[in-house]
Amino acid sequence: MRPFTYERARSPAEAATAVARQPDSKFIAGGTNLLDLMKLQIETPAHLIDVNGLGLDRIEATPEGGLRIGALVRNTSLAADERVRRDYGVLARALLAGASGQLRNKATTAGNLLQRTRCPYFYGTAQPCNKRQPGSGCAAIGGVTRQLGVIGTSEACIATHPSDMAVAMRALDAVVETIRADGTARRIPIAEFHRLPGETPHIETAMARDEFITAVTLPPPIGGRHVYRKVRDRASYAFALVSVAAVVQRDGTGRVALGGVAHKPWRVEAAEAELPRGAKQAMAAILDGAQPTHDNAFKVTLAERTLASVLAEARG
């Protein structure tokens, strides 16, 4: 961990301004991801701006009938919120499938969206990694890739985004609200929030460096059966091999987003038309163009079988 200086921001605008002022600075929320990475010098900020005291820890109804989730709402509180559990069950379930109780007590909504990959080579600091050290190469390709991405990958990076929460939010068409140092606010649809790796896997989101997340909004509830199924090697406290977030309506139509397969929560809206015809057709369309490695080809089969099981559960 490099030595760093520390300040507490008093407002979102001040936080954004502080980050803009100092090139080597970062926000810290729960710190559950950032501090781990700092200890390994994967992240090396010289200055931390603590955003915990900004009062962004409320969940409010929006005029449109949706919910506005403050950026600092803890994963535990979000999962326990009555409205979330009633109207956005897929989100509550995704949250509870993630990490552990202790971590969820600390982890925030914004921090969860921005958590970094779990590619093992990203953590092996003696190894080349384009995400950790742009241009150094990708040690994972040709190596141990069982956990890594099968679709939307590039020759520069095949890592996945590890969040469960974000997968459910993708299915719910959440919108990320931000503010910049110059005061401009924007609303970024979650579909555009995370990026594919392309040639610049170190650039992971659509955010500018001085952009600060204030909230995530959920559109009005869409009803349907909400299922989140996370497939993993042990019963708890493990990242997904594949996860499926689904909202399925009575007529068999619905939405599906996948975790564990790509550099972002993976959803193909056009493919959802296939859902009433069953998992096989739908998953073929969702994962059309997948380029798995030898080690992770199973994820394609697994995703299809998991979706079949999820659809059965939603119907049942």
Ligand X SMILES: Cc1cc2nc3c(=O)[nH]c(=O)nc-3n(C[C@H](O)[C@H](O)[C@H](O)COP(=O)(O)OP(=O)(O)OC[C@H]3O[C@@H](n4cnc5c(N)ncnc54)[C@H](O)[C@@H]3O)c2cc1C
| Nearest residue to 245 via CA among 79, 92, 68, 66 | 92
| Nearest residue to 115 via CA among 133, 103, 130, 129 | 103
Q: Are 56 and 68 in contact (CB under 8 A)?
A: no
Inter-axis angle of helices 279-286 and 298-315, to 10 degrees? 130
Q: Which helix (H) or strand (E) holds 5?
A: strand 5-8
Total site size for ligand X, rule CB under 6 A: 30
Q: Which of 9, 17, 25, 26 binds ligand X (CB under 6 A)?
A: 26
Q: Which of 234, 251, 270, 289 binds other proteins (CB under 8 A)?
A: 234
Taking residue 273's Cβ as centre, other Cβ atoms within 10 Å add up to: 12
Q: Judged by CB, which is closer to other proteins: 193, or 239?
A: 239
Beta bridge partners of 7: 49
Q: How far apart are alpha carbons 247 and 258 in whole angstroms?
A: 12
Q: Which of 10, 58, 86, 146 binds other proteins (CB under 8 A)?
A: 146
- The residue whose two tokens read 């204030």 is 214
DSSP-assigned letter for residue 266: B
The SS3 of residue 150 is: coil
Residue 157 binding result from ligand X, ligand SF4, other proteins, none, given CB thresholds of 5 to 8 Å by partner type: ligand SF4
Interface of this chain with other proteins, residues 119 to 138, rule: CB under 8 A: 120-121, 123-124, 126-127
Q: Does 138 bind ligand SF4 (CB under 6 A)?
A: yes
Q: Does 99 bind ligand X (CB under 6 A)?
A: yes
Q: How far apart are alpha carbons 48 and 30 in whole angstroms?
A: 12
Total site size for ligand SF4, rule CB under 6 A: 15
Q: How far is the CB of 167 from ligand SF4 (least distance, A)?
A: 19
Q: In the chain, what is the straight-line distance between the N-terminal and C-terminal CA atoms, in Å? A: 51
Q: How far is the CB of 120 from ligand SF4 (least distance, A)?
A: 8
Interface of this chain with ligand X, residues 149 to 188, rule: CB under 6 A: 162-165
Q: Are 298 and 261 in contact (CB under 8 A)?
A: no
DSSP 55-88: S---EEE-TTS-EEEETT-BHHHHHH-HHHHHH-
Residue 122 binding result from other proteins, ligand SF4, ligand X, none, given CB thresholds of 5 to 8 Å by partner type: ligand SF4
Q: How far apart are alpha carbons 73 and 75 in whole angstroms?
A: 7
**Binding mask 156-195 vs ligand SF4 (x if CB under 6 A, - otherwise)?**
-xxx------------------------------------
Residue 130 binding result from ligand X, ligand SF4, other proteins, none, given CB thresholds of 5 to 8 Å by partner type: ligand SF4
Q: Which residues form the interface with ligand X (CB under 6 A)?
A: 26-34, 36, 51, 71, 98-99, 103, 106-108, 110-112, 114-115, 162-165, 212-213, 239
Q: Which residues form the interface with other proteins (CB under 8 A)?
A: 1-3, 39, 41, 118, 120-121, 123-124, 126-127, 139, 142-144, 146, 229, 231-239, 241, 279, 298, 301-302, 305-306, 308-309, 312
